[in-house]
Amino acid sequence: MQRVITVSLNQNPYSLEEDAHAGLEQYLAESAATLASNPDRAEILADLEQAIADQCTRRLQPGRSVITLTELQPALAEIGRVSDPAAQTATSGDNASSATPNQSAEVLRGAGLEQISEGAWISGVCNGLARSAGIDVTLTRVIAILLLFVTGGTMIVLYLVLMLLMPYAPLQIDGPALRKLPAKCRELVTSLRAKIAALG
């Protein structure tokens, strides 16, 4: 059973299952980050919200009213990642001096380092590290817990840094529902990233 979250998309209410909500948050946060320097950011995001709402509603089975990943993922795939025409001309130069969390996130994603929310305990850092190292997640957790005792708390800071920097792997259709804490972490971090991107 999944919790249902009601959100306002372009000022109309829509109900989404918890993991679809997390996926939507992530897409919108990434879009907001891409458009960080765009003067029409708010308007474009509202347009996109409306497009997502239309696409999802169109895909709903008759008699259903809650949007799940089954509707959301093909909808987002059809809408596509946001590209900022203003930024494309601006970034053609060599102004890659200040790395934002999002740029670092892309580098980490390129290196195969992603957080995996499904089956995670906290945010999915150990889960993701285990996958990229090709080892069992229990092993990375044991190492993390050992480090926690050895370093006397520094490990917590390291975890938080990784949690902020490592991008989230996309949620799987029909994957297991997220535990409360990983879902909360994912939501918190994506919205935090969007805020940081909006500042920079």
Partner 1 sequence: MTTELDLKLLPLRKGLLEFVVLKIVAGHSVYVPDILRRLADTEFATQEGTLYPLLSKLRREGLVHYEWRESETGPPRKYYQLTESGRAQVHALDQYWLQLHRTVADLGHTPCNA
Selected from 64, 81, 180, 195, the binder of partner 1 by CB under 8 A is 81
Closest to partner 1 by CB, 43 vs 136, is 43
Task: Tell whether residue 62 is a contact of partner 1 (CB under 8 A).
Answer: no
Count the helix, strand and coil residues of the chain and give each as a percent rounded to the nearest 5: 60, 10, 30
Task: Tell whether residue 13 is a contact of partner 1 (CB under 8 A).
Answer: no
- Tokens standing for 76? 């987002």
Selected from 66, 82, 143, 198, the binder of partner 1 by CB under 8 A is 82
Task: Tell whether residue 132 is a contact of partner 1 (CB under 8 A).
Answer: no
The contacts of residue 147 (CB under 8 Å, 6+ apart) are 155, 158
Selected from 8, 86, 90, 138, the binder of partner 1 by CB under 8 A is 86
Q: Residues, the chain, total?
A: 200
Site for partner 1 in 33-52 (CB under 8 A): 35, 38-40, 43-44, 47-48, 50-51
Give yes or no for a contact between 31 and 9, defined as CB atoms under 8 angstroms apart: no
Task: Tell whether residue 10 is a contact of partner 1 (CB under 8 A).
Answer: yes
CA atoms of 171 and 163, how far apart (whole Å): 16
Give yes or no for a contact between 15 and 4, defined as CB atoms under 8 angstroms apart: yes
Amino acid at position 92, single letter: S
Give yes or no for a contact between 33 and 194, defined as CB atoms under 8 angstroms apart: yes
Task: Tell whether residue 29 is a contact of partner 1 (CB under 8 A).
Answer: no
Selected from 7, 54, 70, 118, the binder of partner 1 by CB under 8 A is 54
Q: Could you list the residues that contact partner 1 (CB under 8 A)?
A: 10, 12, 31, 35, 38-40, 43-44, 47-48, 50-51, 54, 57, 78-86
